[in-house]
């Protein structure tokens, strides 16, 4: 069974630029999560989708971050414009449904200079 | 805001040493406690999902215990090997919230 795929794996941008990350969850998984892991901290949930609907985006900085999962499969996370403090690893995870074990992708390491 | 704490923050051991880490979490509204291993440049990998007070789980040289009444879990590695070098994360799951809250992790380095 293929795992959670993410791209790109690494990205370096300047502050005020835009960036987008892509995630392809495990086939058949209804729930998709985006986490932000800043160096020295644990992963923090940014947004959770159930199929193509948002379940929780309480910790998503909506003035600059957006995410979508239009067809209930792939998802993109966008930052516009990026700030220095957005430098982090962005992890995507999926689960069969809410409350089930989450499977993680390898993450995208973003550096904002 | 849920507070999940892990200690130590980092650990250097020699090959063959046994070691353990601690995860502390709120004892109220407990549903499950997850342990993950995260090697550099790889995906976090689930080690254990623990739900019952007194649970003990084992996977090869790695084992974990759970005390939900006092709000802690221990992860043990017996006879550490260089391939055990990784960050070990615990995550607290509240059924009502449907959300994993992660600790900051323990970074383990096993040296030859």
| Pick among B44, B88, B90 to test the A interface (most A CBs inside 10 A) | B44
- The pLDDT of B87-107, averaged and rounded, is 86
Question: Cβ B42–A106 below 8 Å, yes or no?
Answer: yes
**Nearest residue of chain A to residue B87 (CA atoms):** A42
With beta carbons under 8 A apart, name residues in chain A contacting B30. Answer: none
The two tokens of residue B54 are: 């007194």
With beta carbons under 8 A apart, name residues in chain A contacting B101. Answer: 42
Is B40 an 8 Å CB contact of chain A? no
**What are A37-90's pLDDT values in tens digits?**
999 999 999 999 999 899 999 999 999 999 999 888 999 999 999 999 999 999
B16: DSSP letter? T
**B34: alpha, beta or left? (left if phi > 0; alpha if psi -120 to 50):** beta
CA atoms of B28 and B103, how far apart (whole Å): 17
Chain B nearest CA to A22, separation (Å): 15
- Per-residue pLDDT band at A31 (split at 50, 70, 90): very high
Rounded CA Rg of chain B: 14
Q: Is residue A95 within 8 Å of residue A50, measured between CB atoms? A: no
Is A105 an 8 Å CB contact of chain B? yes
**What are B39-67's pLDDT values in tens digits?**
998 999 999 999 999 999 999 999 999 99
Question: Cβ A48–B44 below 8 Å, yes or no?
Answer: no
**A86: alpha, beta or left? (left if phi > 0; alpha if psi -120 to 50):** alpha
| Pick among A4, A25, A38, A43 to test the B interface (most B CBs inside 10 A) | A43
pLDDT at B95 over 70: no
Measured from the Cβ of residue A100, the count of other Cβ atoms closer than 10 Å reads 13
């Amino acid at each position: 069974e293929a795992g959670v795929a993410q791209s790109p794996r690494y990205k370096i941008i300047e502050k005020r630029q835009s960036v987008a990350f892509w995630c392809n969850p495990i086939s058949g998984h209804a729930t998709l999560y985006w986490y932000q892991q800043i160096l020295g901290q644990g992963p923090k949930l940014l947004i959770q989708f159930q199929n193509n609907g948002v379940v929780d985006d309480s910790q998503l900085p909506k003035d600059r971050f957006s995410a979508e999962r239009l067809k209930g499969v792939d998802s993109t996370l966008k930052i516009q414009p990026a700030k220095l403090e957005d430098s982090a690893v962005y992890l995507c995870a999926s689960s069969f449904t809410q409350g089930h074990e989450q499977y993680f992708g390898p993450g995208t390491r973003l550096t904002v200079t | 805001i849920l507070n999940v704490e892990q200690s130590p923050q980092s650990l250097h051991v020699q090959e063959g040493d046994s070691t353990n880490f601690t995860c502390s979490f709120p004892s109220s509204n407990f549903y499950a406690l997850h342990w993950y291993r995260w090697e550099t440049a790889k995906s976090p990998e689930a080690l254990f999902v623990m739900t019952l007070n007194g649970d003990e789980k084992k996977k090869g040289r790695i084992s974990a215990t759970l005390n939900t009444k006092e709000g802690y879990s221990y992860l043990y590695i017996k006879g550490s090997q260089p391939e055990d070098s990784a960050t070990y994360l615990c995550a607290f799951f509240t059924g009502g919230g449907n959300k994993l809250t992660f600790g900051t992790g323990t970074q383990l380095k096993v040296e030859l």
